[in-house]
Copies of this chain bind each other. A is one copy, B any other.
């Protein structure tokens, strides 16, 4: 183990530092967020800082970069109050990664990347047809993070589209079977292996594997 202080990190080249720091939070859930603007122009962008906030009410949050770096998705969400979160599978990593290019406002990343926008259930924002875990969210709150100009965008779950056969007897959704992947740092994508599930942990009881 080597010790690296923040003072040393601050001296690093910014790209080297960016790669390093972006890996420290760990492997990340990575999804495509679909939005639409007031002129019915769809937008699609990749996000990897997504957090479960609660199950009842079902709330999911994600971090949006400062407006100077990424304003299209959050702008559309503020205007329309709706958006979709779509898990990424191995079969379309390249297309998903390509949505991170700095397209100007008004460009439809579904068209530029070849992913398929699908509208359903009277929801305004587009879903990604290729995704095997699709969610519709309504905006609850955008919390500005003053320390660095980012935003925590909180949405309430409205609809889920999944294969019910991937839901286990206790409600657990086996997203590995849906092909969902993770990202690491700014540009790395990984599949996950079959997991180990453990029983609910109790004081004074040895941990037990469930599966």
Contacts and interface: CB of A to CB of B under 8 A. Distances in A.
Interface of A: 1-6, 9-10, 12-31, 48-61, 63, 87, 93-95, 97-103, 112, 120-121, 132-135, 140-141, 143, 145-148, 150, 152, 154, 156-164, 167-168, 170-176, 180-182, 184-203, 205, 207, 209-210
Contacts of A170: 15-16, 19
Contacts of A209: 94
A44 B142 CA distance: 31
A1 B128 CA distance: 13
Contacts of A97: 198, 201, 207
Nearest to A132: B1
A163 B3 CA distance: 8
Contacts of A141: 145-147
This chain: how many copies in the complex? 2
A112 to B, nearest CB: 8
Nearest to A127: B1
A207 to B, nearest CB: 4
A36 to B, nearest CB: 20
B143 A24 contact: no
Most buried by B among A20, A49, A146, A176: A20
